[in-house]
Structure 1
């Protein structure tokens, strides 16, 4: 059914290619090309080090690695040795920094890979939060980056590790979300899950080895790792991986590099396009050429049709085609992709009456200029090897154009959260479908996602989506895009909710009022 049985076979096949690989964009003037042949060789040498440190197949390895090139070598070393990678984003606040410690207690027999400076910082944060008792065990099972890469990523031993041949249903890696609140839930992803989804993605958009990718997303993110790294590797394409912090510092470098390398596929959540536009000016657009770009993936968070149009309007003069905007739906529980529109079509916007936008409502389509209109993008049909349905509160499928919870199942869908039976009990329906927690409806078989169930605000008998409120407020001249958050507070006495708006406003209070 698939080209490969597991990811080990995939990297071994790709290693035949000396002219295809990864361009690591490390700084404005520093790009490093690593062929898939070099990646395979270096990963085997890193595996030798991991195995010499006592790591064996089935052990979990928590990643706290900032450098993308180092991250990729260690990731593939784990896959080649049957070690289970557990990528965790590096923290920039206390809650984020505590996350790997919380994950440590969930895993069976974990180890940690981290640099010396970050380990000292992690230990300090742990001690300040009464977690010093766990550090004895952690320190004994920590591998320092400095012990793997002595001077640089080329400074590796000549010895190679022993390769483990995984079965299709063996765990490939565990995907934790980037959030810091609540108890961490790790999505278990097998080799079969990943290969099924990557195969479907490539088929849906007719990918070929002539395509090339660029992404600034963290490798701890499903779109960054699976969408922007594994997908091009398995399909023998070139890929550009831009450091996330570099994108934050210099967002316009993103499309300059896309121009330089004639990239055909961009990937980003809605935020990335907004952030890019907020720093762009025509002067910075000199020499941009996006005519090679045929797909602009937009997913992973609520998609703004206004922003899609603004990005296309701005970039059209630099050769970007309107049909390139590719509005998609996915999640870590599905590996990465759930629903895609048809490639090569201009994205579609559906306007419905916001007064009929709650669970169980039959949507009423209206004109865009209707005062009650709220717009959503179509996100297409289920990709191959994945099924989706829309259900009511009792998990019974609803009719076309009725809003309900989106549920999924298929070869790409996880078997559950790692070592978390309580969360798994809530994840699945009685007939085995994953409950996504997202609301939406089918429109002639094409999915329209409207929001998160838990985010809906219920006031005076009406449902409000926070992102709808935020978009309305962002339409005001005084409020910048991305500087407003809508939420609610509950009154336990009256059993009612009230809408609360947080605005980042840097002018005077009199100007705000």
Structure 2
């Protein structure tokens, strides 16, 4: 058997940093290089070398099949985002055929078959694709979701056997939509972020420039390809910037987290790899009982250890440094960033080599309350998320849209060429977050996140996006959790409020406050456990369930549930839950 040789870090083709009119042009240029993708199994063994030239050739054939199936410009093609050559070729095939690829998640280890079918079905209903293409291994579930939506469902092995008559593929325009992206946690209220070719390429250029991607850089990634960091940062960016990459599947990382660091160590030249905070946390915990760190790992070449997708915790980053400095890891490699799918990916990135920087901010200043002078001040460490990408403007706005000055906390607004086109077929939601600028230089995106900027233009994020619950790098819409609990007998709309809280061990978990109309103590315990099981099926995590008296949850002046106020009242003790047995 011939030994597989990974694609090189460098080749004679001059690097172009995402300076293309369309992503299709980027595919064509990358195919001229010797670089590409390298897929590894759970133990980090190289199983498939996939040069960009081969990917493009496969994508062209798949594009012919899409056209032959009657799929054309602006049609949606839903793709289950399994990390591998099939998805890579199909995604590129869609853009070459003028269709819009819609990456959707694989089933997880929790929630069960019915829950996954429900999630897929709702996202398919929103995207309204002509076809769902999926791995053969999940054919039963994916086909059931496609049938429920009324679109065609086919596994990609079968699709690859269809006729591929050669046709002239349409030419993409920079302002054409390139793809739709859905939040991984959205099941009842999905929002498809529509991103144009121009927006994508601009963000990929800015991201590469901010990280100073050079000729010999190489990336290792385990991030899922349906999440913006994995899809845009660790898949599309590498094509557009001609970077070779080594991939582990996300589920393989979950089983053997240290395989990620093994791969970085073993593949000489690996310089960039990204993870949410929880990835670094898992690795530091796993290695804590081992003493052979310097013998097993070599992390000395890892110059950009990106960190984003959830709130960055300085203590976790310090634990990682403590665990792996003996293997050559440098704290200065940490590269915090801030972004969201609505801005394609990145809004701000920490300049290379500056590492983690924090400011201590009083808790009362963060919450907007007056401190009780009889108690000592409490501070929270806020991480510096870096400076805006080229051509990206960032402002902090007050509730009335007024621009705030340095170190004043408010909503984070951004404006630039990589801000999304719209939410697909949802003008109301689009109008809520895209605000036309008075100077006519493009719309401002109201991110809903809270933060401040310092005098040097660095951005500090202090709160979550609106009511989004982000745990272990995964987004959970509170509406989805509330809706799931409402399906249990005896609940009405508005009886449940979901938000994130910090547990005693310093980690975050979903908290669910529920109006309880049951008086028997044993029945209350049974109800709490039933709710906890329901939420675990949605999120995959244990949650804090608190049963509260009816009419306890606060509402806005228009009668809507106020999650922010419910959380504030709960944490302050003004909402008193029923006391239950453990």
The match for 2:459 is 447
The match for 2:283 is 276
The total of aligned residue pairs comes to: 468
Q: CA deviation at 1:56?
A: 1.9
Checking the alignment, whether the CA contact within 8 Å between 1:273 and 1:307 is kept in structure 2 is yes
CA distance in 1, matches of 2:195, 2:343: 9
Q: CA deviation at 1:58?
A: 1.9
1:86 aligns with one of 92, 102, 105: 102
CA distance in 2, matches of 1:57, 1:453: 33
Gaps of 5+ in 1: 127-131, 151-155, 364-369, 458-465, 476-481, 502-511
**Distance verdict in 2 for CA 1:356–1:324, change over 3 Å:** same
The match for 1:107 is 127
CA distance in 2, matches of 1:37, 1:74: 14
CA distance in 2, matches of 1:142, 1:494: 43
**Distance verdict in 2 for CA 1:264–1:161, change over 3 Å:** farther
Q: CA deviation at 1:437?
A: 1.3
2:60 aligns with one of 44, 49, 65: 44
Checking the alignment, whether the CA contact within 8 Å between 1:327 and 1:347 is kept in structure 2 is yes
The match for 1:508 is none
- Which stretch of the first structure deviates more once superposed, 486-495 or 232-241? 486-495
The match for 1:492 is 551
The match for 1:254 is 260
Checking the alignment, whether the CA contact within 8 Å between 1:61 and 1:86 is kept in structure 2 is yes
The match for 2:422 is 416
1:10 aligns with one of 19, 23, 26: 26
Checking the alignment, whether the CA contact within 8 Å between 1:487 and 1:499 is kept in structure 2 is no
Checking the alignment, whether the CA contact within 8 Å between 1:62 and 1:88 is kept in structure 2 is yes
Residue 164 of structure 2 corresponds to residue 171 of structure 1:
no
Checking the alignment, whether the CA contact within 8 Å between 1:438 and 1:451 is kept in structure 2 is yes
Residue 252 of structure 2 corresponds to residue 193 of structure 1:
no
CA distance in 2, matches of 1:376, 1:383: 20
Q: Secondary structure at the match of 1:451?
A: coil
Checking the alignment, whether the CA contact within 8 Å between 2:18 and 2:241 is kept in structure 1 is no
Q: CA deviation at 1:110?
A: 2.8
CA distance in 2, matches of 1:278, 1:160: 53
Checking the alignment, whether the CA contact within 8 Å between 2:42 and 2:253 is kept in structure 1 is no
Q: CA deviation at 1:297?
A: 0.3
CA distance in 2, matches of 1:417, 1:308: 34
The match for 1:367 is none
Q: CA deviation at 1:388?
A: 1.2
CA distance in 2, matches of 1:436, 1:277: 32
Q: CA deviation at 1:30?
A: 3.9
The match for 2:221 is 215
CA distance in 2, matches of 1:45, 1:123: 24
**Distance verdict in 2 for CA 1:165–1:487, change over 3 Å:** farther
Structure 2 length normalisation: TM-score?
0.74
Checking the alignment, whether the CA contact within 8 Å between 1:95 and 1:180 is kept in structure 2 is no
Q: CA deviation at 1:500?
A: 7.4
Q: CA deviation at 1:167?
A: 0.4
CA distance in 1, matches of 2:167, 2:247: 26
Cα deviation digits, residues 431-486 of structure 1 (max 9, x gap): 331111111111222111011264599xxxxxxxx8783476459xxxxxx98867
**Distance verdict in 2 for CA 1:66–1:229, change over 3 Å:** closer
Q: CA deviation at 1:347?
A: 1.7
Q: CA deviation at 1:341?
A: 1.6
1:308 aligns with one of 295, 308, 317: 317
CA distance in 1, matches of 2:419, 2:553: 41
The match for 2:72 is 56
Q: CA deviation at 1:198?
A: 0.7
- Which stretch of the first structure deviates more once superposed, 409-418 or 43-52? 43-52
**Distance verdict in 2 for CA 1:469–1:144, change over 3 Å:** closer
Structure 1 length normalisation: TM-score?
0.83
CA distance in 1, matches of 2:335, 2:370: 26
**Distance verdict in 2 for CA 1:406–1:494, change over 3 Å:** closer
Q: CA deviation at 1:100?
A: 2.7
2:159 aligns with one of 131, 148, 157: 148
Checking the alignment, whether the CA contact within 8 Å between 1:208 and 1:235 is kept in structure 2 is no
The match for 1:183 is 189
Q: Secondary structure at the match of 1:328?
A: strand
After the TM superposition, which segments of 4 or more aligned residues of structure 1 sit over 6 Å from their partners? 156-159, 486-491
Q: CA deviation at 1:212?
A: 0.8
The aligned runs of 1:394-409 (5 Å cut-off) are 394-409=400-415
Q: Secondary structure at the match of 2:411?
A: strand
Residue 297 of structure 2 corresponds to residue 226 of structure 1:
no
CA distance in 2, matches of 1:379, 1:439: 13
Q: Secondary structure at the match of 2:320?
A: helix
- Which stretch of the first structure deviates more once superposed, 53-62 or 402-411? 53-62
Q: CA RMSD in A?
A: 3.1
Residue 253 of structure 2 corresponds to residue 238 of structure 1:
no
Checking the alignment, whether the CA contact within 8 Å between 2:80 and 2:134 is kept in structure 1 is yes
**Distance verdict in 2 for CA 1:146–1:31, change over 3 Å:** closer
Checking the alignment, whether the CA contact within 8 Å between 1:49 and 1:161 is kept in structure 2 is no
- Which stretch of the first structure deviates more once superposed, 344-353 or 325-334? 344-353
Q: CA deviation at 1:374?
A: 0.7
The match for 1:129 is none
Q: CA deviation at 1:95?
A: 3.7
Q: Secondary structure at the match of 1:71?
A: helix
Gaps of 5+ in 2: 1-16, 438-442, 470-498, 509-539, 555-564, 573-580
Q: CA deviation at 1:65?
A: 4.6
CA distance in 1, matches of 2:237, 2:465: 30
**Distance verdict in 2 for CA 1:293–1:203, change over 3 Å:** same
**Distance verdict in 2 for CA 1:299–1:348, change over 3 Å:** same
